[in-house]
Amino acid sequence: MKHIVSGIQPTGSLNIGTYLGSIRNFVKLQESYPEHHFFLFIADLHAITVPRDRIALRKTIKELAALYLACGLKREKLSLFVQSEIPAHSQMAYLLQCFTYMGELERMTQYKEKSQRQVAGVASSLFTYPVLMAGDILLYDAEYVPVGEDQKQHLELTRDIAMRVNKRVGEFFTVPKPLIPKVGARIMSLIEPDKKMSKSDDYIKSRILLLDDEVIIRKRIMSAVTDSDQTIRFDKSEKPGISNLMTIYGAITNTSIETIEKQFETTSYQDFKKAVADVVVAELKPIQERYQAIIASDDLDRFLDEGSAYAARIAAKKVAKLNHKLGLGRKR
Ligand code: TYM
C-alpha cells in the first residue's frame, strides 16, 4: 500500500495558517488519493527543542488530535498518533544523523531564524530537528508529504538523505515528494504581513485560532494591517496585507486570485474584510462544533491507541531492517 505522511507540532493552539497550509489539504487529499494510507501525527518530540510547560504541552497534544478529526478527516485508512509514543522515531533520527552533514543542517533557514531569535542556549536538537523530521517520513516510506511552503527545504533534505542511504545500503527508502497547496501554502501574519502567521508569534492579534469565537475572528480580520491604496489587487511585495486576505478568501472559497480581483473590483477594504470574516466564520463554525463533541469523548483516545499500534509495527520493522543493513547488533 502507498503512504502519505505528515505532522504538526503541538506548540500552541492551531491557527488558520496551519489549517489552510496543511490540515485542510489532508482532508482534500483523502479524496484525491483514496487508495493511500495516511499517517498523520502530533509532532510532540519536535516541540521540545525549546523548554515547554508540561501541563500546557499535554493539553495541546490532545487538542490538536481532536482538531485533526474535527477538521473533517475520515477515519478509514488513517492512522493518527502521537509521535513520542513510537520509539522508532527517535531511533531512526539517530541512524539518519549518521548520513547527514553538518553543512546541510547549517544551511536550513528555519534553524538560522529560530536560533537567532533564541536568547538563552540553543539546544542541539534545534539543529538536528530536520533529521528527526526526515525519519518521521522515511520510516513509513511515504510517497507524498503534504506541507506548507516553509517545510519545502526540510523535504529536500529528506530526499537527499533517502537517496544517500539507498546508495549505501541498496534500495531501502521510498524517496518522498512534497505536496504543497497552490493557494494557502503561506498565510501571513495579520499585523506584520511580511511574516508567516505562526503559532509561536508573540502577538496574539497576528493570527486567527481555529477555536476563536466569532467576535474575536471578526475583530482580528477587521483590524488586519493593509495599505492606503484601497484597491483590491494582489501584489505580495507592495500590498502584502490585502494580498494575504485575498489568499485566505481564495483558499477557503476555492476562488482564483483573478476572480477575486474582478469580483471585488469596486469594493472597499472595509467591505472586503467583512466578506473575508464571513467565510472564515462559516468555515470554522462546524469545525468548532465537531471539536467540542470529539474532545469530550473517550473515543479519541481509542482511535489514537489504534493509530499508534498500527504505525508502531511498521516503524519498528523499518528500524530493525536498517540496523541490520548497517551491521548493528549480533544477528546475521
Ligand atoms: P508546523 O507545526 O510548524 O506546521 C504544520 C504544517 O502547517 C504548515 N504551516 C503553514 N502553512 C501555511 N501558512 C502558514 N502560516 C503556516 N504555518 C504552518 C507547515 O508548513 C506544516 O506543513 N516540522 C513540521 C512538523 C513535522 C512534519 C514532519 C511535517 C514534523 N515531522 C514530517 C511533515 C512530515 C512543523 O514544524 O510544522
- The tens digit of pLDDT for each residue in 261-309 reads 999 999 999 999 999 999 999 999 999 999 999 998 999 999 999 999 9
Q: How far is CA 16 from CA 82, 183, 224, in A?
A: 22, 13, 14
Domains and CATH numbers, the chain: 2-180+298-326 (3.40.50.620), 204-292 (1.10.240.10)
Measured in angstroms, how far is the CA atom of residue 83 from the centroid of ligand 1? 14
Distance CA 40, CA 126 (A): 22
The 3-8 sheet, strands edge to edge: 78-82, 37-42, 3-8, 142-146, 177-179
| Ligand 1 atom with minimal separation from the 21 CA | 11
Name the residue of 8, 68, 105, 244 whose CB sits within 8 Å of the most ligand 1 atoms, as the mutation to test its pocket.
Answer: 8
Give yes or no for a contact between 255 and 232, defined as CB atoms under 8 angstroms apart: no
pLDDT of amino acid 207: 96
Bridge partners of 239, per DSSP, are 235
pLDDT of amino acid 14: 93
pLDDT of amino acid 261: 97
pLDDT of amino acid 187: 97
Name residues of the chain where pLDDT drops below 50: none
The model carries a pTM of: 0.96
Name the residue of 129, 150, 209 whose CB sits within 8 Å of the most ligand 1 atoms, as the mutation to test its pocket.
Answer: 150
